[in-house]
Structure 1
Amino acid sequence: MTVDAVSEFEAERGRLMAVAYRMLGSRSEAEDAVQETWLRYATALRDPAARAEVRHLGGWLTTTCARICLDLLRSARVRRETYPGQWLPEPLVTPLGAAPEPDGFAPDPAERAVRRDQLGTALLVVLERLTPEQRVAFVLHDVFAVPFGQIAEALGTSPEAARQLASRARRAVNAPDAPRHTADPAEQRRVVSAFVAATESGDLAGLMQVLAPDVVLIGDGGGHAPAARNPIAGADKVARFTLGLFSQAGRFGHRVRARPVLVDGALGLQIETSRPDGRMQRLVTAFAVDGGRITGIFNQLNPDKLTRVAEIGAGDDWPQRW
């Protein structure tokens, strides 16, 4: 294995992480997929016949990584059918104001790639509706502009079939009931600030004004933390559920800490509070914002998916001042 080969792969790692994370919705699984891609590349380099097939390194690595992700997605569908309650992706959380690298993004390759495309948690949630083949075709073509010929190679099908898979996926992603996320950072800040203010004051009417009529709230406790087993839909139900959570914390005298963070590249909240048994409950909330209102709230409470999230500092108390 030459130094040049390692350097060439490392130059592609950030893109591969972005591809794998969008396909899998799990940072740990994405890392595993990229590592397996590296192992297959290293194996190919030791075989002259296999090495000859690597004509364009970026394309070869992307195709190989996509095949690995496709296998993982197929097995993941079986696991998620038995998952306790609702499933949400493992969030990539970046503190606001984190020191950027010279290219302007966070230092971690996965976080850097996610912040670059600014797609947010909402898309990852909608992608769960797709078949593994549709998800691979959509992510490769619509997010990363991979040609259909290369996608067909990854899927083991024809370019026309790959095109049809991406088209079906696109219709699902743009379905009327899919949470919409189109807001720029300034609008996200204004809307989430209003959400925090209304929640803090217990203002039901004010909270409903910031929620879209068809807003949906999804919570993932993974069987480890309390969360609604089914999505909660509609501004009135979501508002009352949200206020109920925070009023419950107040009744028990729990100290709540919170800070705004980037969740999958979009503005969200990290919240920590003490549970009745004395243990800390950590929550990462992602938002979908469209037309000045919140269309989706995604509460990640599963501690297994929050192990990489740094604790909130002692000086950050609810509500977080903006």
Structure 2
Amino acid sequence: MSAEAPGQDTELRADEHAERFTRLRPLLFTIAYEILGSATEADDVLQDSYLRWSQVDLDAVRDTKSYLAKVVTRQALNTVRASSRRREDYVGPWLPEPLLLDERDASSDAVLAESVSMAMLVVLETLTPDERAVFVLHEVFGFGHQEIASAVGKSVIAVRQTAHRARRNVQARRKRFAPVDAAETARITGQFMAATATGDLDGLLALLAPDAVWTADSGGKTTAARRPLVGAAKVAAAVLDIFGKRKRTPGLRIETVNCNGAPAIAAYVEDRLEGVFLLATADGRITDFFAVRNPDKLRAMAETHRISRR
């Protein structure tokens, strides 16, 4: 055997590490994003996870998917705990980062689209980090309690209890929102765009649920309501004020994008993204607007991501 054989073997191993990780990357990104609510932090978690993975003896790995999910979950939980103080000191409401998706991504998987919807991510924010990780891994990705126990560092009994508590809390808070229906959201979004373009207050009010809520996340870095606005009249006024500016703001353009598994609205001034507006609907009406205006959170919209449950 030539003297180059050991080096060749190391290179082959590195290629296999990369191939396994790349094949599962959409799944791993989705796990991290749903635990963190941040595409930027999810990308960082995947980078750190790959560095750890590249040092692993592959002969000792019996199930690559389970092993990598465990690594990513642990890194995501470490990130959540490290950033908890930053979120406590956040100015105004905190919303997850919007996730720009390929036009086809999530469209054929209702569970996946629901799990990354802004409405669901807002609900998940009410859980503890461990509850969120357990709920996501079990309910969305179908991991067993034993696998989850290894990932979160708890006993199987504790994981079962956490899963039950998380499911109950999510169900209680999720009643306000209907399951994601991309076609329905697209229809309502189109009607919304038409109403705001013409300043049709009556048409806009007809699209809003009586108790509609407008929640804006600016982080104190741009103009936005510091508290949620509640009620169709208040929400309609806010909407017409913001979207009516297209007539008097040079270079302002409004377009629809595929965000978090459903159509959303993006506002640009020239080529600078100023805000992303996501809708939640129920019974054919808009129940919630989620307006992400913080420029730090909009940076993630510079590129599309791929998501998967497999």
Q: TM-score range by the shorter chain?
A: 0.7 to 0.9
Which letter does structure 1 place at the counterpart of 2:284?
Answer: G
The correspondence for 2:71, drawn from 24, 42, 64, is 64
Range with greater deviation from structure 2 (154-163 or 137-146): 154-163
CA contact under 8 A between 1:114 and 1:265: conserved in structure 2? Answer: no
Which one of the candidate residues 285, 289, 303 is aligned to 2:277? 285
Give the aligned partner of residue 268 of structure 2. Answer: 272
Q: Which has the higher contact order (CA 8 A, sep 6+)?
A: 2
Aligned match for 1:211, one of 193, 196, 208: 208
Give the match for residue 3 of structure 2: none
Counterpart of 2:298 in structure 1 is 306
Deviation at 1:173, TM superposition (A): 2.1
1:264-304, CA deviations, whole angstroms, 9 ceiling, x for partnerless residues? 11111111247xxxx95611111112221112211111111
Contact 2:180 2:262 in 1 (8 A): no
| Kept in 2: contact 1:134–1:169 (CA 8 A) | yes
Give 1:228's match in structure 2, choosing from 225, 228, 231: 225
User: Which residue in the other structure is 1:193 paired with?
Assistant: 190
Once residues 173 and 228 of structure 1 are traced to their aligned partners in structure 2, the CA distance between those partners, rounded to angstroms, is 26
- Contact persistence 1:289–1:295 (CA under 8 A): yes
- Residues 112 and 62 (structure 1), Cα distance of their counterparts in 2 relative to 1, 3 Å cut: farther
SS across alignment from 1:174: helix
User: How far is the alpha carbon of 1:249 from its aligned partner?
Assistant: 5.6
Tell me the secondary structure at the aligned position of residue 54 of structure 2: helix
What are the within-5 Å matches in structure 2 for residues 123-272 of structure 1?
123-176=120-173, 179-247=176-244, 250=247, 252-272=248-268
Shift of 1:175: 2.3
C-alpha spacing 1:281/1:43, structure 2 compared with 1 (3 Å): closer
Shift of residue 4, structure 1, vs aligned partner = 2.0
Q: Find the partner of 1:88 among 95, 110, 122.
A: 95
Structure 2 CA distance for partners of 1:148 and 1:238, relative to 1, 3 Å: same
**CA distance 1:171–1:217, change in 2 (3 Å):** farther
How far residue 113 of structure 1 moved from its aligned partner, in angstroms, is: 11
State yes or no: 1:40 paired with 2:35: no
Equivalent residue for 2:32, pick from 4, 20, 27: 20
TM-score for both structures, normalised by structure 2: 0.84
Letter in 2 for 1:35: Q
Q: How many residues align?
A: 289
- The CA RMSD measured in Å over matched residues stands at 2.6
Contact 2:113–2:180 (CA under 8 A) maintained in structure 1 = no
**Aligned-pair CA distance for 1:72:** 1.1
Q: Which letter does structure 2 place at the counterpart of 1:156?
A: G
Classify 1:41/1:95 alpha carbon distance in 2 versus 1 (closer, same or farther; 3 Å): closer
Cα shift readout 1:88-125 (whole Å, capped 9, x = no counterpart): 122122475xxxxxxxx45xxxx899998112111111
Structure 2: gaps (5+ residues): 1-9, 304-310
The answer for the alignment partner of 1:102 in structure 2 is none
Query: Tell me, which stretches of 5 or more residues in structure 1 are unaligned?
Result: 46-50, 97-104, 312-322
